Amino acid sequence: MRVWKHAIGWGLAIVAAVTVAGTGIAQAAEYKVGTIVVSEPWARASASPMAKAGAAYATLVNAGQQMDRLLAAESPVAGKVELHTVLMEGGVMKMRQVNAIEIHPGEPTVLQPGGLHVMLMGLHAPLKEGEVLTVTLTFEKAGKITVEAPIRAAGAKGSMGGMSGGHKGHGAMH
């Protein structure tokens, strides 16, 4: 009898895990081009239907031996896409465009709110929670890759439902 109860318990746990994975809740998206792995891409929903700008984020890992750089990004939802960082100047946070984002071997470079990110300008329509944003990233050595970024709530703070990872990469080059 005890074995039977455990078997039922494990069976229910497996069914629950498969059901959650099937809904996308537990899935961690990962894309690979050359030696670059792009994991958990995501974007924030527009805070207002009139918003003309948005941002996309991800973690970039270089599995190779030589530094690579993210040089550009593009998306069909925006008129213009740039790479940005956030700086403190005189106690005020300011966004600045950067020419490239360095991705050093073995060190994650985290694109996240308040730091490095992909800036979407001239949005053709607001980004809506629950939809998916398509972004093509261009790396200096690895080449191009198109990723699908789930759009999270307007106030989302980071990957894994709001758990923000530390920024380790060397970041931006001006």
**Residues 35, 144, 103, CA angle at the centre, nearest 5°?**
45
DSSP 82-125: EEEEEEEETTEEEEEE-SEEEE-BT--EEE-TTSSEEEEEEESS
pTM score, whole prediction: 0.77
3-state secondary structure of 46: coil
How do residues 106-118 score in pLDDT, each as one tens digit?
999 999 999 999 9
How do residues 118-144 score in pLDDT, each as one tens digit?
999 999 999 999 999 999 999 999 999
The CA distance from 92 to 99, in Å, is 22
Helix, strand and coil percent figures for the chain, each rounded to 5:
15, 50, 35
Average pLDDT over residues 92-110: 96
Spell out the domains of the chain, with CATH numbers in brackets.
29-173 (2.60.40.1890)
pLDDT category of residue 21 using cuts at 50, 70 and 90:
very low
